[in-house]
Structure 1
């Protein structure tokens, strides 16, 4: 008895309805040729759904499809549009990670050069736990005349650099687009701070806008390497001698994965990246897990001293 009623259970009722409607439409079309053209489109639709349901029931890869033929596809459709539904209908102004709608709105408004401020207070819950704010001082101090800069380079440094306490951290060209590199360096120039190149080398886009540059040299020695991946002193000296490059940073290891190297797949090594990094096209661009130029702390200090000498 249970087997007979199984097609009419909630799990299979959609498939059963589609199959029954298909059979009925087919019988009507066979016995009454005049209405066949009218019922052709519904017949094709319900026939296709029936075939889909049979396929769902007989396949063995998805338990949901096997248990709920046809109707389970609605679940996958809802999963597909879930991010859009959440963003447009359910997400509040303060929800959303890593950036809320309010934060994104400020970026959009400033990019369009329109007003990015709202009157009549804040929408933030200022009483929630963890909320931070700057409190007005009841005894304000005179405005500081210091420029909030730090001189980097001791007595042995021939070219000390007065660095801002606010700078742009390392992000390589390749991970960033040319326009992103230009924008960051232009901001560094306007703000009077430095722009770190990341280990991908100094690109022409870092130089275009005239901002101060910190050249990061990693274990791949991109921009100052031989064909075998070893350090090239002459090439390093020619790049480091640029007056726009204010400091050279030696990257010991991958910050996100210490003790491991990095790989830029060959498919992403464009002609431009190949030229800037000094790596061959058609091959994976490898950042080794260790430096070939040194292996002990003393050797590292000697290597740093040599880099300082080469850079002038």
Structure 2
């Protein structure tokens, strides 16, 4: 080995330090595991801390999730927040709160749980993982979003409620030329388990990028479900071919609702340029078409692998994006017709409470439900070598994941998380989470000061964008938004000058 290292030309370290250089390589390979299990403390691990992972695992397995001896968090830091409780708590909080999704244009409204499984595709996940998640959805009475990979037989085996997500690749309703096939969509959307459909515009992990399932994971089975060639990279385009303007988007949503027999239809996106949510609501006002819901995905979200720059630096974080979309809907007087959901690193009752107080009607979680069915955050999802079989297509690795066992754990995690939310809501003096308001959340802005959330973010009153948009902080963006184009009406610098 030493002679080989000395004369090889591909690796500098082993060429200069034969044999010893392999010790560095071994340490490099083991570094993520040593750090996760030995080095990092309970609160600092990423993307999910040990405390977060342990909480999900404990609730899923039905063991104690209580914590002794007080908080380990530094309550003086600027990222600390808390719920303001009441001297007069509620004795009978709702432990299974639900939200009716559907407006006057919907024939088949749906009663959604306040916590559901966010979009994860078959292909990105294994068949056994999809089976387990859907069984959990059935047992726990919450919905399971298919992700953009299409509606597979594994989503339908256990009878759980389904939200069918349709991305720019139109997988499962895809014509040979890659465009939307309305007949395929109509036939599959009519299935009893499909309760709602959803148009994916972008996702938090890689907004504006589309999606990529590597060739190694595109088996013949997955290719047949998606309607693409097997054993080749499966790429979702960056944008949709079925529409190119806000008005065309609303018309496409209405078409999907009609094809599905009047089931609710929604939009999912990670918020980017601030004028675009206002363009969407202007299109709703101009066309009279109301999508039933909008899911805001935070820039910190994402189960799928993505380019590091997109994961780290592109896309609005959930809190800011959620508030902006909430203000666009409320300010335009549409919030009562268009429900709003939040998706992005939700795993606890506090996460649910925070999002709902900021305007969400319900929340979706992806990685938390992956953890509930056995994921250990090995971060090998994109390599096909997931040690727990959650994201691997290899039968040998999938064998470790028993859907009947892990499905019950997903349902148990859901139930216990809602119980934790009920404790928070009851402590604040309410029966239902939707009674939470921004001022019930306090956020520390420095070691010496904390503010209620409505003094940190602006929350618009109903209809103000229609009556007095120039009186809001969004005057520039509202003026720039167009119903007939996603591009701003004019250069924003000139818009600001004209408004002021």
Name the TM-score, length of structure 1 as normaliser: 0.69
CA distance change for structure 1 residues 87 and 273 in 2, over 3 Å: closer, same or farther?
closer
2:171 maps to what in 1?
Answer: 222
- Structure 2 residue 136 is the aligned partner of structure 1 residue 187: yes
Q: Deviations over 1:31-75 (max 9, x none)?
A: xxxxxxxxxxxxxxxxx75x468x27x969526853x56655544
Matches within 5 A, 1:267-286: 267-286=216-235
For residues 261 and 95 of structure 1, do their structure 2 counterparts lie closer, same or farther at Cα, with a shift above 3 Å needed? closer
Matched, 1:249 2:198: yes
Distance 2:214 2:10 in 1: 35
Assess, with a 3 A threshold, how the Cα gap between structure 1 residues 91 and 273 changes in structure 2: closer, same or farther.
Answer: same
The answer to whether residue 12 in structure 2 is matched with residue 62 in structure 1 is yes
For residues 36 and 115 of structure 2, what CA distance do their matches in structure 1 show?
34
Report if the CA contact (8 A) 2:201-2:239 is conserved.
yes
Q: Does 1:234 align with 2:183?
A: yes
1:44 corresponding residue in structure 2 = none
Pair 296,195 (structure 1): closer, same or farther in 2 beyond 3 Å: same
Q: CA deviation at 1:90?
A: 4.3
Distance 1:295 1:269 in 2: 29
5+ residue gaps, structure 1: 1-47
Aligned length: 259
Distance 1:305 1:114 in 2: 43
Q: Is the 8 A contact 2:220 2:231 kept in 1?
A: no
| 1:101-150 CA-partner distances (Å, limit 9, x unpaired) | 55555666667x5744578x247525554566677643222324595322
| Residues 89/205 of structure 1: CA separation in 2 closer, same or farther (3 Å cut) | closer
Q: Are 1:263 and 2:176 counterparts?
A: no
| Local SS of the residue matching 2:117 | coil
The answer to whether the 8 Å contact 2:218/2:230 transfers is yes
Question: Equivalents in 2 of 1:151, 1:89: separation in Å?
Answer: 46
For structure 2, the residue ranges without an aligned partner over 5 or more in a row are 262-500
* Matched residue, 1:212: 161
Give the Cα–Cα distance (whole angstroms) in 2 for the partners of residues 96 and 61 of structure 1.
Answer: 31
User: Deviation digits for residues 75-112 of structure 1, max 9, x if unmatched?
Assistant: 4444444445555654555554334555555666667x
The 8 Å contact of residues 164 and 197 in structure 2, kept in 1 or not, is answered as yes
Cα 1:117–1:221 shift into 2, 3 Å: closer
Q: CA deviation at 1:170?
A: 0.7
Displacement of 1:208: 1.5
Aligned CA distance change for structure 1 residues 75 and 310 (closer, same or farther; 3 Å): closer
1:60 & 1:270 partners in 2: Cα distance?
33
Partner SS for 1:195:
strand
Structure 1 or 2, whichever has the larger Rg, is 1
User: Structure 1 residues 143 and 278, CA, compared in 2 at 3 Å: closer, same or farther?
Assistant: same
Contact 1:65-1:73 within 8 A present in 2 as well: no
1:125 is matched with which residue?
72
Match of 1:15 in 2: none
TM-score for both structures, normalised by structure 2: 0.45
Residue 201 of structure 1 deviates from its aligned partner by: 0.8
The answer as to whether partners of 2:170 and 2:178 remain within 8 angstroms in 1 is yes
Q: Look up the match of 2:112.
A: 163
Q: Distance between the aligned counterparts of 2:179 and 2:124, measured in 1?
A: 23
Q: In structure 2, how many angstroms separate the alpha carbons of the residues matched to 1:261 and 1:60?
A: 35
CA RMSD between the two structures: 3.4
Instruction: State the match for 1:38 in structure 2.
Output: none
Counterparts of 1:157 and 1:273, CA distance in 2:
32
Cα-to-partner distance string for 1:274-299 (whole Å, 9 max, x where unaligned): 22112232443231122222222222
* Residue from 165, 175, 190 that aligns with 2:124: 175
Residue in 2 aligned with 1:293?
242
